[in-house]
Structure 1
Amino acid sequence: MAEITAASVKELRERTGAGMMDCKKALTENGGEMEASVDWLRTKGLAAAAKKAGRTAAEGLVGVAVEGTKGAVVEVNSETDFVAKNEQFQSFVRDISGLVLTVGTDVEALKASAYPGGGTVEEKLTNNIATIGENQSLRRAAILEVSQGAVVSYVHNAAAPNMGKIGVLIALESAAPSDVLTALGKQLAMHIAAANPLALDAADLDPALVERERAIAMEKAKDSGKPANIIEKMVEGGLAKYRKENALLSQLFVIDGKTPVADVVAAAAKNAGSPIVLKAFERFQLGEGIEKATSDFAAEVAATAGIKKVDPVA
């Protein structure tokens, strides 16, 4: 029997879209023969995902799960919003959200981990692709944890309990009563969902983003025709505004529109009689950063019907 190498497993996986263990088994069953292994996977229904693997999956669901003082958020993508309403897909997102709490956030490790009910996460995902009929992907995950206090979750545009279009986790370190922290955390999480802060405070903002804003502000200021010293002040003023508007603690609380979030937390701590530290947050918005393919629907229909599209004459 031919030796089953990592390279052959990789090649078969790339050709069929099947899971790694399924590819290894296929090669073993077929003496290492590539084409026979492809056919074997097809007969098992495990290569059905291959035709869909190139499609853009930018819809789906963001799921959250909280156990004690630890919370997880995960994004699982599909091609269309319709799949987000599918119970099979929702069940997968729910299971993965809980699994992250024990397995961790590394996507490859998650895929290789045991799925509740049998098999691996990757095998379950491959099966879902085949049975639901759309490309799907486990995109990313994050965990927040505190030693004392609460991790609070919030889902915006919920499609089902604990899953929707935007998922937020917020970590509050404190000895204050849990009901106080939960109420505060929920309000802050709703703020984060709406205001989309880029960092906890100004010092945590991505330096590359700050430099980009500096360059933009400089170009705008140069057009004013002001002296160099005035331009520098204009640029620094613009950057100060950028930092204030994009760091969570300095943002104005969306509920009243006037109080900085840091002051909201301080007031809650004073009322509770115990310090409260807003330690961290995570905000996952479905499909952010994914480049969605654009298409000409009329052209697609014409192509399917074998009709050449003719542009209208001006």
Structure 2
Amino acid sequence: MHLTRLIRTSTREALKGYICHHVQSLHTGCQLLTADKTLLIKLRKSTGYTFINCKKALEKFDNDITQAESWLHEQAQKEGWSKANKLEGRKTKEGLIGLFVGDKVAAMVEVNCETDFVARNEKFQQLVTDVTLAASAHHQSKNQSSAGYVKSLLAGDELNKLCTGEGLSVADQVAFAIGRLGENIYMKRAITVRVPTEWHIGSYVHGSISSQTEVAMGRYGALVIFQGGKEGEQDILGHKLGQHVVGEAPLSLGNMDDLPSGEDETRLLPQTFLSDPSRTVAEFLRGQQAQVLDFVRFQCGEASMEEAE
């Protein structure tokens, strides 16, 4: 009996030593470190990753929250590119139009996703904000020496090459968002403009969402380039013109002297003005001592000219 107990004790000690040695090879000692609860909550709140992944990251880096966050981003980026490749080709008819108007410059971007549910997600909206501002910054840096009116159209592949404020390419940001949201996301197009000092930029976004950023977002957007207008009232005039372009969807500008051709009028100036049905757009502009020079309208999910062809 004494010999049996001795063998059992020796076996237990040997096994305990093996387990301890094995754990030491993975960590710094026999005691496995657990994630600090306060750091876990903080990491979860700052990154939005699941509790399980945040816990795993903190345990991996001995509760070093900086290294844990960096590792989580790296893993999400890898997963995002993998998901992006798998989801490529899935239809993206939902999404948002992002619109930014600065000092004599503006940018309007369309970013598509699969469902309206994701379009309402804050992470997706942040992506739209980042891409819109990146398009505006690119346009300004590229056309600093231009004194006249400059308008540029960027296709999706051109947008993907731009860099965001975080130093990542738009393509990387998209992959990152796909990894977190689980839907295909597609950079559709962007329009950027810069106007001379005496010109003005009107804008309007329809179906706008609540946003604390400088970028307005919705399912429809319009930019209107115009001259003149009553002093101090150009912002109101630009808003009304943008609202009309979104609502009536003109296809061309037309001339100030053009007569309306009926209910299916597609020229802007002869159309019945949305804010004042008693006048055409041209008649309203004469009263405001203003002239529309150009306009652009985006509708989320609509076929572009290239797709229509």
Larger radius of gyration: 2
Of the three residues 250, 253, 262, the one matched with 2:273 is: 253
What corresponds to 2:19 in structure 1?
Answer: none
- 1:241 aligns with 261
**In the alignment, what sits opposite 1:170?**
224
Q: Which runs of 4+ in 1 moved over 4 A?
A: none
Q: Tell me the residue number matched to 2:242.
A: 189
Check conservation: 2:201, 2:226, Cα contact below 8 A.
yes
Deviations 1:266-307 (A, max 9, x none): 1011xxxxxx221111110110117xxxxxxxxxxxxxxxxx
More helix by share: 1
Q: CA deviation at 1:242?
A: 6.2
TM-score by length of 2: 0.62
Decide which of 296, 305, 309 is 1:282's aligned counterpart: 296
Q: Does structure 1 retain, via aligned residues, the 8 Å contact 2:77–2:175?
A: no
Gaps of 5+ in 1: 1-40, 204-236, 270-275, 291-314
Report how many aligned residue pairs link the two structures. Answer: 208
Aligned Cα root-mean-square deviation (Å) = 2.5
Contact 2:202 2:241 in 1 (8 A): no
The one-letter amino acid of 1:279's match is: L
Q: 3-state DSSP class of the match of 2:129? A: helix
Q: 1:141 aligns with which of 174, 190, 195?
A: 190
Matches within 5 A, 1:16-35: none
- Native 8 Å contact 2:107 2:136 kept in 1: yes
Please give the alpha-carbon distance, in whole angstroms, between the structure 2 residues aligned to 1:51 and 1:256: 50
Aligned equivalent of 1:93, options 128, 141, 144 = 128
Q: Tell me whether 1:198 sits opposite 2:251 in the alignment.
A: yes
Describe the shift of the 1:202–1:173 C-alpha distance in structure 2 as closer, same or farther (beyond 3 A).
closer
Letter in 2 for 1:186: H
Q: Which runs of 5+ in 2 are unaligned?
A: 1-74, 140-152, 305-309
Tell me, yes or no, if structure 1 residue 62 matches structure 2 residue 112: no
Question: CA offsets per residue over residues 205-237 of structure 1, 9 Å max, x none?
Answer: xxxxxxxxxxxxxxxxxxxxxxxxxxxxxxxx9
The CA distance in 2 between the partners of 1:242 and 1:115, in whole Å, is: 46
Compared CA separation, residues 244 and 49, structure 1 to 2 (3 A):
closer
Q: Which residue of 2 is the match for residue 130 of structure 1?
A: 179
Q: 1:231: which partner in 2?
A: none
Normalising by structure 1, what TM-score? 0.61
Query: For 1:78-129, what per-residue CA distance to the aligned partner results, in whole angstroms no more than 9, with x for missing partners?
Result: 0000111111110111121122122244233321122211321111111111
Change (3 A) 1:185 1:60: same
